[in-house]
């Protein structure tokens, strides 16, 4: 099965779910496309996690997976950053990156260099959050709210990392560090993408 086949299959599943909801009079026929779109995106949101579960079970890294994913998602909600252009690419990139990061938590040692990188990541989040995407533009009020949340969440997660490091719970500390750094890296990639797009548009206008 290739990516296009998978997308078609999820489309069919979304159609079936929405048709069932309409049949049960939970939603109106006029809302079919809206709910189909929402269902399609919900399934795609879950796909990366369904993909990494077998990996975590086979490698005994369930705790690693849970901590890394939850740390990342808690931050990602407010920091923003790079988004793949299509749902299929989002699923593929997210799955591969998460597997790589979870595996990384089993071989990376917690040390002063990691602490410096985590501190840089938190500072980056404080300075640049939130980063808009083409799919989601924030108004002034939302930007203020998201900035406050991203700063508070990143600070709390950094404190978790520091406390765990002090208590010599280094394996767990690395999991928090990985989620924080990943959120920051995607944010910086999104920022770079915005800059390049604006730069290219200015060149074309000239």
Judging by beta carbons within 10 Å of its beta carbon (0-12, 13-18, 19+), is residue 92 exposed, middle or buried?
A: middle
What tokens does 146 get?
A: 């998201």
Q: Does the predicted TM-score (pTM) go above 0.75?
A: yes
State pLDDT tens for residues 61-103. 999 999 998 898 888 888 887 776 776 777 777 788 888 989 9
Q: Is the pLDDT of residue 152 over 90?
A: yes
Q: Is 151 helix (H, G, I), strand (E, B) or coil?
A: helix
Q: Which residue in 84, 98, 86, 82 sits closest to 7, CA to CA? A: 86
**What are the start-end ranges of the H helices in 60-169?**
62-79, 87-104, 112-128, 140-166
Residue 141 CA to chain centroid, in angstroms?
A: 23
> What percentage of the chain has pLDDT greater than the value 70?
88
pLDDT at 125: 93
| Helix, strand and coil percent figures for the chain, each rounded to 5 | 80, 0, 15
Maximum C-alpha span of the chain: 59
């Amino acid at each position: 099965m290739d990516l296009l086949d998978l997308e078609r299959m999820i489309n069919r599943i979304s159609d079936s779910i929405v048709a069932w909801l309409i049949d049960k009079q939970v939603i109106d026929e006029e809302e079919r496309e809206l709910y189909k779109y929402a269902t399609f995106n919900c399934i795609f949101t879950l796909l990366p996690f369904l993909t990494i579960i077998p990996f975590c079970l086979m490698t005994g890294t369930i705790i690693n997976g849970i901590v890394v994913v939850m740390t990342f998602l808690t931050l990602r909600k407010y920091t923003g950053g790079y988004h793949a252009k299509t749902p299929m690419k989002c699923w593929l990139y997210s799955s591969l990156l998460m597997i790589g990061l979870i595996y990384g938590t089993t071989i990376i040692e917690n040390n002063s260099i990691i602490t410096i990188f985590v501190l840089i990541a938190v500072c980056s989040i404080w300075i640049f959050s939130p980063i808009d995407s083409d799919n989601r533009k924030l108004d002034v009020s939302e930007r203020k709210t998201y900035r406050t949340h991203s700063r508070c969440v990143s600070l709390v997660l950094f404190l978790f990392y520091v406390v765990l490091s002090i208590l010599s719970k280094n394996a767990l500390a690395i999991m928090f560090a990985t989620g924080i750094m990943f959120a920051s890296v995607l944010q910086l990639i999104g920022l770079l993408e915005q800059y390049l797009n604006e730069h290219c548009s200015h060149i074309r206008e000239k």
